[in-house]
Each structure stands twice: as C-alpha cells, then as structure tokens.
C-alpha cells in the first residue's frame, strides 16, 4: 500500500517521493538512503579516521565550535544570491545543497523564530557515528553565515534543537538568550 505523497524532492538528477510532515517509515528509509549518496565513498576512510581523531583529542564543545567555523568558511565560499523573501532564501539554500549533494532544507517562519529542517544530510554517514554530537555545528555555521550575509543581526543565532535522528536535523534561528 502506498503512503501519502506530499511533494517531490529533487536531489541531483534523482527524484524521490517524500511523505507529508509525519515522515512515515518509507520516507525515513528513502531519506536515509539518499543521505548515504551525498558523499564519495573514496573519502570515507579518511573522514572516519579524522572524526575519530577529533573525538579523541577535543571535547564535544570544542568540536562543535570548530565545526561552526568550518560551516562559516563554507558559506563564504558558497555565498547565497540576494534574496528578498523567505521562499527565495529556502530556494537559494537548496540550490547550494543540491550542488554539494547535501540533502534538502525547509525554512518556516514561526513568528518569533525561523525553523530550519535539514533532511538527507550525508555528514554522519561520511564521518561516522561518533560525529553525531558535534557535526551539526557545520550546518549551524553555514546557516548562521548565510543569514548574516543576507542582513540578519548578530543577536540572531542558529542553534540545533532536538537530537539528530538519521532522518533530519532541526535548527532554530532566533534571538540569543
């Protein structure tokens, strides 16, 4: 029996069907599958060894801080074009993510903050399970730098909310408290 289909996501030249926001088991499997496609397996031994060394030498906080800086540096190299509305920002981010094979994002205005859902990101698959607690810092830095370049105030901060669940990472962009 087929599940409800909400939208078609395009990743590279492949199309996949994603169910509506409840993320049924079928969509979890598909997004997990596509997140594994987002990196060259030839890099896997190096990235996993690097991740292991990082985890053994640095604290989780130090690693998350380092990964935020990596994300900022990436955003400087992959700048977004000027955007005049949130749908244009979401589209521009997805164009960069597609180019990198780094999944898809949805951005929702909650009034007091922006909710950012990043699905099918290959980072944990590429760097290994021990990177789970800190690898989200890359995306925090990436989104933070992009929003700042688009004119956001320094008091607004991107932070991961909730736990990574192999399907997606969720972030909030709001006033730092």
> Among candidates 68, 77, 80, which has minimal Cα distance to 146?
80
Is residue 127 domain-shared with residue 163, that is, in the same domain? yes
Percent of the chain predicted with pLDDT > 90 = 60
Is residue 97 domain-shared with residue 157, that is, in the same domain? yes
Residue 161 lies in a domain: yes
> Among candidates 55, 175, 60, which has minimal Cα distance to 114?
175
Structure tokens of 69? 């800086």
Strand, coil or helix: what is 129? helix
Radius of gyration (Cα) for the chain, nearest Å?
16
Residue 100 lies in a domain: yes
Can you give the pLDDT at residue 2? 27
Is residue 31 domain-shared with residue 71, that is, in the same domain? no
Is residue 61 domain-shared with residue 111, that is, in the same domain? yes
Give the total number of structural domains in the chain: 2
Is residue 22 domain-shared with residue 63, that is, in the same domain? no
CB 165 within 8 A of CB 175: no
Residue appearing with tokens 């005049």: 84
Residue 2 lies in a domain: no
Ranges of beta strands (E only) in 12-121 are: 14-18, 104-109, 114-119
Is residue 86 domain-shared with residue 26, that is, in the same domain? no
Question: Does residue 138 carry a pLDDT above 70?
Answer: yes
Can you give the pLDDT at residue 5? 22
161 vs 125: which has the higher pLDDT = 161
Q: What is the pLDDT of residues 4-50, one digit of tens each?
A: 222 222 222 223 223 233 333 445 555 555 555 556 778 889 999 99
Residue appearing with tokens 């956001």: 152
- Enclosing domain of residue 68: 41-175
Residue 21 lies in a domain: yes
Is residue 95 domain-shared with residue 167, that is, in the same domain? yes
Can you give the pLDDT at residue 21? 35
Can you give the pLDDT at residue 166? 62
Kindly report which listed range (58-67, 90-99, 167-176) carries the lowest average pLDDT score: 167-176
Is residue 136 domain-shared with residue 71, that is, in the same domain? yes
Can you give the pLDDT at residue 41? 76
Is residue 68 domain-shared with residue 13, that is, in the same domain? no
Is residue 170 domain-shared with residue 125, that is, in the same domain? yes
Residue 1 lies in a domain: no
Is residue 86 domain-shared with residue 13, that is, in the same domain? no
Give the CATH number for residue 98: 3.30.1380.20
Is residue 69 domain-shared with residue 131, that is, in the same domain? yes
pTM of structure: 0.78
């Amino acid at each position: 029996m087929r599940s409800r289909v909400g939208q078609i996501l395009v990743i590279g030249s492949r199309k996949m069907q994603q169910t509506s926001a409840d993320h049924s088991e079928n969509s979890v499997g598909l997004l997990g599958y596509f997140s594994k496609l987002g990196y060259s397996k030839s890099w896997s031994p190096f990235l996993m060894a690097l991740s292991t060394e990082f985890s053994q030498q640095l604290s989780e906080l130090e690693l998350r801080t380092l990964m935020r800086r990596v994300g900022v540096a990436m955003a400087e190299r992959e700048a977004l074009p000027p955007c005049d509305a949130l749908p244009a920002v979401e589209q521009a981010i997805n164009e960069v993510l597609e180019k990198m094979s780094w999944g898809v994002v949805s951005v929702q205005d909650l009034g007091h903050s922006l909710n950012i859902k990043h699905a099918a990101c290959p980072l944990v698959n590429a760097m290994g399970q021990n990177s789970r607690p800190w690898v989200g810092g890359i995306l925090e830095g990436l989104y933070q730098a992009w929003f700042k370049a688009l004119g956001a105030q320094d008091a607004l901060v991107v932070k991961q909310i909730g736990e990574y669940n192999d399907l997606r990472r969720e972030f909030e962009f709001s006033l730092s408290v």
